Chains A and B, each alone.
Chain A
């Protein structure tokens, strides 16, 4: 699962540059949390585009993540990209004061979608394409909010496992403090990815790599020494999250139907 940092940087910066040009954008926009994935995405965007053409939105909920905001500010300063800090607490609090919930996932998903809504609003205001920051581990396990942090225009990071993003981050010169941070979706305070998923990223990525990239059958992966319960759980997470990776099924009635047999490339005429 080792990668060449310079090679991957070259692919992904060209991807960002080419996709923006194809769709007529000069600018890229992304949500910057101060965590590893969005920081790596910001580094790639700043290399692919002029730093002044990259806008990072830092979107904290009140004062719940002040340390992350401080890290995010360091990143934008280091890269010389534009940024805006918008507190989402006023919008989110109005909603929950009318429709209260103590369910952390419901609250966290609402926040993720509030951020998405602001990103799309600024995408239109700034004529900037949204750069996604979901990695392959998250996409496979469905560890993200549908129509929330998973929403984007293009995703440069979606075919790199978390541990590969760490390797890329070293090559790109991402500050050690951010590289060593404990990964968190930030849906609530104290949440950690590995705590919630029950496994270290290193183990998850290796199991996923065997199952997905190398197409090894489950029993061979278990025979390699991984716990059956862990492998089973990851497979279950993959299966149960296919809906997050696809457009919803359209009921097919006509001879030619969107999502079934009306088949055109994404880059139609580009």
Chain B
């Protein structure tokens, strides 16, 4: 399976222009024989939308933009990020997995960061589920950016049978040291390594680059294999289409040797969690 990560910089609030950029990447990826092309979080709109959210919201079931992308997904599967108006006036930060002319799944971001420089809960409605779904490449689960920092979310995708975990992100760089990378890039790589290893699943993380309102998105998109090994990583600065061959047999090979999945006990976790939550004090 050949995966492409479109680590690019969308234009803020300009869906038409961003669709053009998507089409360009889709063309490029098709030429390189990519099977699954992944765009970053809010790839069709840009990140710092604030009150622009309503102006850029899309309706995946009826929007001509999605008709176009669905058509293209007959030749190349893709994940895009967009603002999803699921019910009138309720806007979600969402990702859609398109393949074979269909939308296979829409994930609506559950963990909306609202602290420090983030203010997503002010503008977005909450998603409520982490679900897995079948794709031509295996059982897949999706998360968006801050979802991935909450390891319970990864656990749910693991328990639901993910073989491929896709994370799309708009993570700004924060914190300097003597290293040639932001301190914050380590957060994502650490999580990628741990979750891939202990879920024995591929973790594919696609971040963006460029500046918005002074925030610098720190790229560094990556793929870890089911054994927790870094397969590839993109630049921390540059726009690029990172293309990587993945051997899907790695999932079976790893799970034979490291039976974490077989030995998992979601029933006990569920019952314990219920008891824990019940005992929370008001």
A positions within 8 Å CB-CB of B: 2-4, 6-8, 10-11, 14-15, 18-19, 154, 164, 262-270
Contacts and interface: CB of A to CB of B under 8 A. Distances in A.
B176 A269 contact: no
A144 B176 CA distance: 25
Contact of B180 (A2, A4, A154, A164): A4
A11 to B, nearest CB: 6
Interface residues of B, number: 23
Nearest to B123: A263
A81 to B, nearest CB: 23
A164 B175 CA distance: 13
12 contacts: A2-B177, A2-B178, A3-B176, A7-B179, A8-B176, A15-B211, A15-B214, A262-B51, A264-B50, A266-B48, A268-B52, A270-B12
- The main secondary structure of chain B at its interface with chain A is loop
Nearest to A156: B214
A267 B213 contact: yes
A269 B211 contact: no
B13 interface: yes
Interface of B: 11-14, 48-52, 173, 176-181, 210-214, 216, 237
Contacts of A14: 211, 216, 237
Nearest to A3: B176
Contact of B176 (A7, A264, A266): A7
A14 B213 CA distance: 14
Nearest to A263: B50
Given A7-B179, A11-B237, A164-B176, 8 more contacts: A7-B180, A10-B237, A18-B211, A264-B51, A265-B49, A265-B50, A267-B12, A267-B211
Nearest to A10: B237
Contact of A4 (B12, B14, B51, B177): B177
A26 B24 CA distance: 26
A266 B181 CA distance: 26
Contact of B11 (A6, A15, A264, A269): A269
Nearest to B238: A14
A267 B214 CA distance: 9
Given A265-B48, A266-B213, A4 B179 contact: yes
A99 to B, nearest CB: 38
B178 A11 contact: no
Contacts of A262: 51
A10 B237 CA distance: 8
Contacts, number: 62
Contacts of B181: 7
A100 B11 CA distance: 52
Contact of A264 (B52, B210, B216): B52
B45 to A, nearest CB: 11
Nearest to B177: A2
Nearest to A158: B214
Contacts of B48: 265-267
A154 B212 CA distance: 12
A77 to B, nearest CB: 31
B179 A269 contact: no
A19 B213 contact: no
B176 A268 contact: no
Contacts of B176: 3-4, 7-8, 164
A6 B237 CA distance: 13
Contacts of B179: 4, 7
Contacts of B52: 264-265, 268
Given A265-B12, A265-B52, A268-B13, A4 B212 contact: no
B180 A6 contact: yes
B178 A269 contact: no
A18 B210 contact: yes
A96 B52 CA distance: 48
B13 A19 contact: no
A3 B50 contact: no
A270 B48 CA distance: 11
B207 to A, nearest CB: 15
A265 B177 contact: no
B177 A3 contact: yes
A262 B52 CA distance: 10
Contacts of A264: 50-52
Contacts of B214: 15, 154, 266
A136 to B, nearest CB: 11
Contacts of A269: 11-14
B131 to A, nearest CB: 31
Contacts of B177: 2-4
